[in-house]
Structure 1
């Protein structure tokens, strides 16, 4: 049963449960749409009804943000651990290699998806990545044709949020894949173009602090976390 945090639905499933459910979706030919939820998105959704509707239309809203976990605890909820977008993507790729499911990478700058493909195949031998396409292609007919010709079971879309989620919702019913996940900058991280926080920092849920130190201009965005928790408490 999903939790409702300030009007946004959150899935309480952990990685193992999600992978099991996604493999079942593929086998039973059910379209599924994954979106990562963090406090910043929830706060934006308070002022943007269209965004809130978009987030709530997803099949799985993963709790990608320590603030979502804290909010669930404040409410006495059942979301106990983070499910980050990039880690879920990697676990899906691992399962795809094991269960012979086909993957497509769409988005990011030219050359990034190709490099991410190389790295993913190194990490998960046997992974069948049937196609890549950069995010600078504007012709929707070319995009649809390229994806549908490849016939993937799973597509990762790296166009930035919420653009990638709007794109998925608009196009998923005309595309071959069953599983759609918006993955933001994950191709850049996997390809080595961007460095992720050290694992010890990730485990503490302090990736936001690591990014703030690396990118101090983000400080205004980080103010959303205390505002978010205060609003949850008021509710």
Structure 2
């Protein structure tokens, strides 16, 4: 077994097991080390998702059912550094990981199925992926469907032969959908990507790189969308865990 195929170190915070990939490239190399995409679900973990899992055992079980959970939020990275010194874990932003996976999918002609977003944003995402990286889009489904339609959508995904299923429906809705889809069609890699399609197509502006490097992308989003302040207030619980060493 090559080093790329070896499982990453695991760091546990509040019962959630995080995969300690050194960076985005290492993660993608691992996912493709055996000549194809490893099947299963990968889930981004930030402080808000960890709080939700703490208060909802079903969500926690759903998250832990994923093959890999990775540190998307800077607060999670700093918590790992504090709890497991001298380990140094790099933040892997979900949007960056998704773009890296899409680029590799284009290079290897891997079949990709896109789920989520409005019909317009979904089409723009597919067009840009084809133009930029020649991604082989084998199917699409916007995020505006009801529970009665899900079975048919899952059947379409399975029939498409998709190797990667990208799901932009927000959390925990996207994790629930991926779990249900995985039970029917376990051969694909499933990735929940939240609002990544909006950022990729330019509908939503991402924080400048300097803000990202400083770990202040969350603050940039709050400044641009003041309604997020309520979500930020909830983070005080996470801060308390961090300061008390309760992670």
For the residues of structure 1 that align with 2:235 and 2:156, how far apart are their CA atoms? 40
Deviations 1:57-92 (Å, cap 9, x if unpaired)?
A: 111111111100111111125352111111111000
User: TM-score with structure 2 length normalisation?
Assistant: 0.87
For the residues of structure 1 that align with 2:186 and 2:12, how far apart are their CA atoms? 31
Q: CA deviation at 1:160?
A: 0.9
For the residues of structure 2 that align with 1:88 and 1:21, how far apart are their CA atoms? 13
User: TM-score with structure 1 length normalisation?
Assistant: 0.92
Aligned partner of 2:165 in structure 1 is 155
1:74 counterpart = 2:82: yes
Aligned partner of 1:98 in structure 2 is 107
Q: 1:49 to 1:225 in 2, by over 3 A?
A: same
Aligned partner of 1:36 in structure 2 is 44
Regions of 4+ moved over 6 Å: none
For the residues of structure 1 that align with 2:185 and 2:32, how far apart are their CA atoms? 18
For the residues of structure 2 that align with 1:79 and 1:171, how far apart are their CA atoms? 34
Deviations 1:77-119 (Å, cap 9, x if unpaired)?
A: 5352111111111000111112221111111112211101111
Contact 2:112 2:139 in 1 (8 A): yes
Contact 1:62 1:84 in 2 (8 A): no
How many residue pairs get aligned? The number is 233
For the residues of structure 2 that align with 1:116 and 1:133, how far apart are their CA atoms? 12
For the residues of structure 2 that align with 1:26 and 1:187, how far apart are their CA atoms? 27
Structure 2 unaligned blocks of 5 or more: 1-8
Structure 1 unaligned blocks of 5 or more: none
Alignment RMSD, CA only?
A: 1.8
**SS at 1:10's partner residue?**
strand
Q: CA deviation at 1:30?
A: 4.8
